[in-house]
Amino acid sequence: MLDNDFIEIFPVGDNVGVNAITPARVKASLAAKLVKTKLWSYTPKPKNEKDVNLFIGKAKAEISDEMAKLEAERAKLIREREEFEAQRAESLTGGRGRKKAEV
């Protein structure tokens, strides 16, 4: 690992609040020194129920965001499939027959 690589570390201790889930990006050499002080950690560590609730809230928000992205992608793929099927049907009929109604 190069010294110019950055690592995310998390504060450890009581009453760190939202900072418990907010990483600090520091150089690898500094991260090693900070972790040795036991005031920082490479992974977030909840100390009380409030911290656990923050972790759960952040996880739920990330899941909701990911679900919204997946739903948007699903809708896009459905539209594309319908367009391809319409083009395929048109190419099979050779452009003859009823034209697709404009939406």
pLDDT, one tens digit per residue, over 1-26 is 555 689 999 888 776 666 677 788 99
Q: Give domain status of residue 98, yes or no.
A: no
Q: Which tokens is 91 given?
A: 């190419």
Q: Give domain status of residue 100, yes or no.
A: no
Instruction: Give the separation between CA 47 and CA 38, rounded to whole angstroms.
Output: 14
Q: Give domain status of residue 103, yes or no.
A: no
Rounded to two decimals, the pTM is 0.57
Q: Give domain status of residue 58, yes or no.
A: yes
Q: Give domain status of residue 99, yes or no.
A: no
The total domain count for the chain is: 1
Position 65 confidence tier, pLDDT thresholds 50, 70, 90: very high
Instruction: Give the separation between CA 73 and CA 61, rounded to whole angstroms.
Output: 18
For residues 75 and 98, the model is more confident at: 75
Sign for the CA dihedral angle at 10, 11, 14, 17 comes to: negative
Q: In the prediction, which pLDDT does 103 show?
A: 56
Range of the domain at 13: 6-93
